Amino acid sequence: MTTNEGHSAEPLRLLAVHAHPDDEASKGAAMMASYAASGVRVMVATCTGGERGGIQNPRMEGDAHSGRDMGGARRLEMARAAAILGIEHQWLGFTDSGLPEGDPLPPLPANCFALKPLEIAAAPLVRLVRRFRPHVIVSYDENGGYPHPDHIMAHKVAVEAFHAAGDPALYEGAGEPWEPQKLYYDLAFNPQRFRALHFALQDAGLASPYAERLAAWLEADTEGHTPPVSKHPTTTQVDCGEFFEKRDDALRAHATQVDPDGFFFAVSPDMQRKVWPWEDYSLVESRVPATTPENDLFTGLR
C-alpha cells in the first residue's frame, strides 16, 4: 500500500462520486463550492450520462434539444453547474440504467451501468483516483441515498476505489497507486434536517412541502422514533450556508431535471442558514486519527 507521506504539504483534494448529472447539485453542492472557494481541489466523477432521464421540469416540455439528445443536453447542463460551483469534473462514461417502474419491475437495459461487473464498473474510477489523488472520497450509502440502481452501483464503485486504488496488485495498468485517507457517505436526505425545516416553515406561517415525507418516515418507524434512526449516523456537519445560493444556481443549471418552482427551493437560503446551515455526512472509514463529531471533512489531514 502507498503511505501518501507528505500529503499534508500538498493542496487538499476531494472527490465526490455521483450517479448522474444533477446529483452533484442536489447532494453536497454547497459543501463542494465552499471547499473549492477555500483553495481545495474538488472533483466530481459522474458515472453515467443521464441519457435515460425524462423531463422533470414542466418549463422544458417540448424542448427540442433534450427531446432529440437528452445525453447531450445534460452534458451542457453539467458543464454549467460545474462552472457555477467552481469544481472540476470527469465523466466515467457509463450508460444510464434508467429507473425501472412497474409490478413486476422490468429488467434493466443491456450494457447499462448497474449491470456491469464491479471490476469493470470501478476501473475508470480507480484510474481517476490514482490520477487526481484525493485525500477524501464522498459518495452514497449502500442504499444509494435512495434505491436507484445507478446510485447503488455508484456506492459500490466508490467503496471499491477507496479500498483498491492504493494496492499495486489491483487494477494493474490503471496508474500509480494512491490511497485515499477518508471515506464519507452523503446524508442529503437526513430526516433531522427536513424536520427542522418543516417546523421552521410552520412557525413562520408558511406551507411546508416536507409534511408528507416526514409522515412516511414516522409511519415506517414501528417504535415511534422521530425521526427514524439512520443506519449511518451524522458524524460531520460542514458549515456552508454562504454557498446555498451557488447550490441553488447549480440546481437550476440542470434545467431538464429541476423545476425552479419545485421542492428544492421551498425554503429560502436565508431561512436555511438560520435553521440548518450545514450539509451532513457520515464518516465511514478513516486512515488518519479522526474524532467525531467533526465540522470538516479534512479533519486529521490539515
Taking a C-beta distance cutoff of 8 angstroms, is the pair 214, 198 a contact? yes
Q: How far apart are CA 173 and CA 277, in angstroms?
A: 43
pLDDT at residue 6 in the model: 43
pLDDT of residue 105: 85
pLDDT greater at residue 21 or residue 222: 21
Write the pLDDT tens digit of every residue in 186-229. Answer: 999 888 999 999 999 999 998 888 887 777 766 654 444 444 44
3-state secondary structure the chain: CCCCCCHHHCCCEEEEEECCCCHHHHCCHHHHHHHHHCCCEEEEEEEECCCCCCCCCHHHCCCHHHHHCHHHHHHHHHHHHHHHHCCEEEEEEECCCCCCCCCCCCCCCCCCHHHCCHHHHHHHHHHHHHHHCCCEEEECCCCCCCCCHHHHHHHHHHHHHHHHCCCCCCCCCCCCCCCCCEEEEECCCCHHHHHHHHHHHHHCCCCCCCHHHHHHHHHHCCCCCCCCCCCCCCCEEEECHHHHHHHHHHHHHCCCCCCCCCHHHCCCHHHHHHHCCEEEEEEEEECCCCCCCECCCCCCCC
18 is in an annotated binding site: no
Give the pLDDT band of residue 122 (cuts 50, 70, 90): very high
pLDDT band at 2 (very low <50, low <70, confident <90, very high): very low
pLDDT in tens, 242-277: 999 999 999 999 999 999 998 889 899 999 999 999
Q: Which of 1-5, 216-220, 283-287 has the lowest mean pLDDT?
A: 1-5
Q: Reply yes or no on whether the pLDDT at 119 is more than 70.
A: yes
- CA dist 224 and 203 (Å) reads 23
Nearest CA among 250, 259, 256, 251 for reference residue 70? 256
Average pLDDT estimate for 26-38: 97
Whether residue 151 is annotated as binding a ligand: the answer is: yes
Strands 13-18 and 136-139: parallel
**28-32, 114-118, 191-195, 247-251: the lowest-pLDDT one:** 191-195
The per-residue pLDDT for 213 is 75
Query: Would you say 7 is a known binding-site residue?
Result: no
Least confident interval from 28-32, 37-41, 116-120, 196-200: 196-200
Grid look-up 503511505 returns 3
What is the model's pTM? 0.92
Omega cis (within 30) before 100: no
In 10 A of CB 251, how many CB atoms?
A: 23
pLDDT digits (tens, 9 = 90+) for 73-108: 999 999 999 999 999 999 999 999 999 888 888 999
The number of angstroms, rounded, from the C-alpha of 69 to the middle of its chain's C-alpha atoms is: 24
Residue ranges of the chain assigned to CATH 3.40.50.10320: 9-189+278-286
Reported as a single tens digit per residue, the pLDDT across 41-83 is: 999 999 999 999 999 889 889 888 988 999 999 999 999 999 9
CA 51 – CA 270 distance, rounded (Å): 34
Q: Are 157 and 122 in contact (CB under 8 A)?
A: yes
User: What mean pLDDT, rounded, does the chain reach?
Assistant: 91
CATH superfamily of 9-189+278-286: LmbE-like (3.40.50.10320)
- Given a contact cutoff of 8 angstroms between Cβ atoms, the answer to whether 190 and 230 are in contact is yes
User: Do the beta carbons of residue 197 and residue 272 sit within 8 Å?
Assistant: yes
For a pLDDT cut of 90, what percent of the chain falls above it? 76
Q: pLDDT band at 1, cuts 50/70/90?
A: very low
CA atoms within 13 Å, Cβ hemisphere of 242: 8
